[in-house]
Amino acid sequence: MAMSHTSKNRLCNLPPGTVIIGKWHGHSYRLLRRLGSGANGVVYLAENGRTRVAVKLSDDYASLASEMNILRRFAKVQGAALGPSLLEADDWQSPFARETVPFYVMEYIEGENFAAFIRRRGKEWAPVLVMQLLSVLDRLHQEGWVFGDLKPDNLIVTGPPPSVRLLDVGGTTLQGRAVKEFTELYDRGYWGLGSRKAEPSYDLFAAAMVMISSCCPGPIEKKGDGRAQLLSIIEADRFLTQYKDVLQKALDGRYRKAADMRRDLLAASSRHTSAKNERKAAPSRRSGRQVKRRRQARGIVETVVIAAALLGAYALYIYWQLAM
């Protein structure tokens, strides 16, 4: 269930400096700025003393409870940071609408938006970060979940070293069910390339779209045959063309595991790196051969000069002997 339009407008426009005080635990959080909003709530950056946290508010108790359960389950997965850490949950007696608003507090993950990071650092980082993302998705899928609403806005790059983290678990869905939340551009159903059934291949389609959209200079809008359009976008970009086989398999739903897509992406990236190094090495080899030829030519000239000098000296010696 999504928030009502009236409630969403009210919660989306809380002024900076608003203090959220928990009804049951008594902890206070001063809102600094809005981080984002979706169908199921609004997230603000807030301060609790000197600690920065993210606070999500909504009038939809059921959705918030579901998200908190997902975060608790994520926290039990060893060896992988699948999402932000859940800190606490409470209710707020809003003075603006005289209503009780449920909220939960989670870790604030500081970093840079995925697409913004790629624009600033270059396309070469896209496969590196997507491989990290696939590792996280693999763990998530092994736990029986699908992230669902996978898009650059729900990915943040922390570091150094650069590392991808998932944000906003509102779309996370148990495998086998219908995906709860999605964004059209990253949804295979929108492109006519599959259903909205929560399965690993749904996330892997979105992962391919994250890489494609992050490397494209302008917005992407569906026009006609979705598959043909996406393949033409890949083929028109010199960088993406090097990963065409992997991206095409993901778009067609031919990967069943994130680990398989990661393996193929790593192999394609290795080939790209090797070819790039080979191109760099070629001018050096040519330069080396040119230097060698110049040295050989200089050696020949020096030999001729020395020989000529010796012959001249010998001729003078013969002339001097005859003159005597």
Model confidence at 252: pLDDT above 90: yes
State CA 44 to chain mean position distance.
23
pLDDT at 308 over 60: no
> Which one of 79, 107, 135 terminates a domain?
107
- With a pLDDT cut of 90, the percent of the chain lying above it is 69
Total domain count, the chain: 2
**123 phi-psi bin (left φ>0, alpha ψ -120 to 50, beta other):** alpha
Cα 264 to Cα 68, 193, 236, 258, 291, distances in angstroms: 34, 21, 21, 10, 41
290 part of a folded domain: no
Examine the domain organization and report whether 127 and 37 are in the same domain. Answer: no
Render pLDDT for 115-167 as a digit per residue (tens, 0 to 9): 999 999 999 999 999 999 999 999 999 999 999 999 999 999 998 999 999 98
72-113 pLDDT, tens digit per residue, is: 988 888 667 788 999 999 999 998 877 899 999 999 999 999
Q: Does 253 lie in the same domain as 214?
A: yes
> For position 252, which CATH number holds?
1.10.510.10
Its domain, for residue 189, covers 112-268
Q: How far apart are CA 92 and CA 83, in angstroms?
A: 24
pLDDT averaged over every residue in the chain: 88
229 with 130, same domain: the answer is yes
CB 89 within 8 A of CB 64: yes
In a domain, 274, yes or no: no
Asked if 262 and 144 sit in the same domain, the reply is yes
Q: Does 313 score more than 70 pLDDT? A: no
Assess whether 87 and 233 both reside in one domain: no
Q: Residue type at 27?
A: H
Q: Give the model confidence (pLDDT) of 183-193 as tens digits.
A: 999 999 999 99
Residue 314 in any domain: the answer is no
SS3 sequence, 113-162?
EHHHHHHHHCCCHHHHHHHHHHHHHHHHHHCCEECCCCCHHHEEEECCCC
Among 219, 250, 268, the domain-final residue is 268
Kindly state whether residues 101 and 144 are assigned to the same domain. no
Whether 143 and 233 map to the same domain: the answer is yes
Q: Is 103 exposed, middle or buried (0-12, 13-18, 19+ CB in 10 A)?
A: buried
Is 32 a domain residue?
yes
Structural domain includes residue 176? yes
Q: 160 and 41 in one domain?
A: no
Is the domain of 134 the same as that of 233? yes
- Residue 63 CA: distances (Å) to CA of 72, 153, 181, 204: 14, 20, 12, 25
Residues 133 and 253 in one domain: yes
Domain presence at residue 212: yes
122: in domain: yes
Could you list the active site residues? 149
Q: Are residues 28 and 172 in the same domain?
A: no
Domain boundary among 70, 86, 107: 107
Band (314; pLDDT cuts 50, 70, 90): very low
Over 90: is that where the pLDDT of 19 sits? yes
Q: Is the peptide bond before 200 cis (omega within 30 degrees of 0)?
A: no
255 located within any domain = yes
Q: Do 80 and 137 share a domain, yes or no?
A: no
Model confidence at 179: pLDDT above 50: yes
What distance, in Å, lies between the first and last C-alpha atoms of the chain? 123
The CATH number for 43's domain is: 3.30.200.20
